[in-house]
Structure 1
Amino acid sequence: MKATAKAHPIQGLIKYHGMRDEELRLPYHDSISVCTAPSATTTTVEFQPDAKEDVYLIGGDRVEGRGAERIDAVVEHVRDLADVEHPVRLESENSFPSNIGFGSSSSGFAAAAMALAEAAGLDMTRPEVSTIARRGSSSAARAVTGAFSHLYSGMNDRDCRSERIETDLEDELRIVAAHVPAYKETEQAHREAAESHMFQARMAHVHHQIDEMRDALYDADFDRAFELAEHDSLSLTATTMTGPAGWVYWQPDTIAVFNAVRELREDENVPVFFSTDTGASVYVNTTAEHVDTVENRIAAVGVDTDVWEVGGPAQILSESDALF
């Protein structure tokens, strides 16, 4: 009863914000994202009949407090589905920085859900596994199905699950990841989302944005898709900044990257757009043809960069890849 899985983190394109059910992590509205590779989380889990308690480790450190509670929600759901009671050992490693806005919770809970389902002997499709991952992080549902994926809102697991969107942009997209290391707290921002006076304005237009994004992906219209993602980032930030806590995630380097992107687009006609989730780091979306030009310009801002491509769905790895 042991398995290892790998999942890629997501970049939100039309992002969810706020949860109408915190326990099941049911979002207020649909969302669309794209997975980024080779950045990934690898997770090994084992049901251990002789163990006395659950043990969770990330990067070798014991997970406690709220982090352990979120993992518990996923583990307990798998136990219920598989009708097993054994304690679980879970170890996880990220190949990229966490808590700076690059979606580590999405890949973390996606890999955990895949490994747990496999170790428990559950025969499930990835959309079904996405409902397990969602209990840890709504974004993780989309990391399970991978590439460009759509998480539907709903009040139950039948409706609130993720599906992959097929698009030719999978081969064309390149993402220059601009690292701006400033710690961010996402869960509290989700908890108070509906208290922002901008939230209802966001709700009024986000459903149309979802339709527009799906249509752009079907047509493989790069400019249209990533202009939508750029504007959605601004909309999301307006909502987080006007909540009770007044969350301001962006740093001076974040704005400098935005300015560099706009200069490339407006002065040099380069197809490039910025996007952020709840964090200071920036996804700079461009095409394979222009990625070197874009990376050089973003690096000149003085931030560390990586170049990522589109990542696939969460995968079960071989026994030789186990972390313990």
Structure 2
Amino acid sequence: MKATATAHPIQGLVKYHGIRDQELRTPYHDSISLCTAPSNSTTTVAFESDRAEDEYVIDGERVAGRGAERIRTVVDHVRERVGIDNRVRVESENNFPTNVGFGSSSSGFAALATALVEAAGLSLSRPEISTIARRGSTSAARAVTGGFSDLRAGNNDTDCRSRRLEVDFEDDVRIVGAVIPAYKETEAAHAEAEDSHMFEGRLAHVHGQLADMRDALGRGDFERTFEIAEHDTLSLAATTMTGPSGWVYWQPETLTVFETVRDLRSEGVPVYFSGDTGASIYVNTTAEYVDQVESAIADLGIETRVWQVGGPAQVRDADAALF
């Protein structure tokens, strides 16, 4: 009972903020994202009858504390579904910077859920697997279905699951990742979301943003899609900054990237910034302009990664196993 899976992290376009149900990790509102490739998390899972306790290892480090609790929540859900009590060994590796705002928890839990389902012998669709991954990280639901994905809010697994969207310009999208290595913890910001006086304001307008985003994606409107994502980035930051802890994730380099993107756009380059919780920034453009955009960000002295839209979580062959 062993399996390996790989998943790509997500870039939030209309991002969720705040968790309605802490156990199921159901959000207050819908969210839409795209996956970034070739960045990925690869996870191997084995149910072992002779093991005394679970073991979780990420990038060579044994996981304890809250991180282990989140992994155990997903593992226990699968054990309960199949009626087994075997302990598990889990090892995961990331090929991109983690805990800097590039969605490593989304790809990590998407790969974990996909590998667990395979190892346990369950036959589930990706939307069904997305409900399992969601228990570890809400955004992981969208990493399971991949591409441009839409997670609907709901009170149960029938309603709160991810689905992939068909988008005409998907193959033309390029993402320049501006790596700004300032450590962050997203879960803390979600925990106090309701305490921000801006939270009700975000809830009042986010449904309109979601409708506009679905319309733009359905019409194949690249510019409008990423214009909305840019504005949503600012809305999210306003909410996190006005919570009790006053989370300010941006660094001076973050603001410099914003200004560089706006300067490029004033010169006719189709380019837009977007950020999740963290200092690092996604710079969204097209295949035609990606070299120019990447050079402009690199000239700031900022490390860059170039990505395109990635597909769904995938079960890997046995020779890809990490142990």
Using structure 1 for the length normalisation, give the TM-score.
0.99
Q: Distance in 2 between matches of 1:185 and 1:319?
A: 33
SS at match of 1:225: helix
Matched, 1:121 2:121: yes
Q: Which runs of 5+ in 2 are unaligned?
A: none
What do residues 229-260 of structure 1 show as CA deviations (whole Å, max 9, x unaligned)? Answer: 00000000000000000000000000000000
Report the equivalent of 2:26.
Answer: 26
Name the count of aligned residue pairs: 323
Matched, 1:103 2:103: yes
The amino acid of 1:7's aligned partner reads A
Matched, 1:307 2:306: yes
Residue 23 of structure 1: CA displacement? 1.2
Residue 39 of structure 1: CA displacement? 0.1
Matched, 1:269 2:268: yes
What do residues 99-134 of structure 1 show as CA deviations (whole Å, max 9, x unaligned)? Answer: 000000000000000000000001000000000000
SS at match of 1:246: coil
The amino acid of 1:272's aligned partner reads V
Q: Distance in 2 between matches of 1:188 and 1:297?
A: 33
Report the equivalent of 1:75.
Answer: 75
What do residues 63-110 of structure 1 show as CA deviations (whole Å, max 9, x unaligned)? Answer: 000000000000000001111110000000000010000000000000
SS at match of 2:139: helix
Q: Distance in 1 between matches of 2:82 and 2:269?
A: 51
Q: Distance in 2 between matches of 1:175 and 1:301?
A: 17
Cα-Cα RMSD: 0.5
Q: Which runs of 5+ in 1 are unaligned?
A: none
Q: How does 1:215-230 map to 2 (within 5 A)?
A: 215-230=215-230
Q: Distance in 2 between matches of 1:80 and 1:295?
A: 47
The amino acid of 1:322's aligned partner reads A
Q: Distance in 2 between matches of 1:2 and 1:100?
A: 31
Report the equivalent of 1:297.
Answer: 296
Q: How does 1:174-213 map to 2 (within 5 A)?
A: 174-213=174-213
Identity percentage of aligned residues:
68
Residue 219 of structure 1: CA displacement? 1.1
Q: Distance in 2 between matches of 1:157 and 1:24?
A: 9
Q: Distance in 2 between matches of 1:161 and 1:149?
A: 10
Residue 218 of structure 1: CA displacement? 1.0
What do residues 182-221 of structure 1 show as CA deviations (whole Å, max 9, x unaligned)? Answer: 0011101001001100000100011111111111111110
Q: Distance in 2 between matches of 1:125 and 1:46?
A: 21
SS at match of 1:4: strand
Q: Distance in 2 between matches of 1:284 and 1:158?
A: 34
What do residues 135-177 of structure 1 show as CA deviations (whole Å, max 9, x unaligned)? Answer: 0000000000000000000000000000000001211100000
Report the equivalent of 2:281.
Answer: 282
The amino acid of 2:190's aligned partner reads H
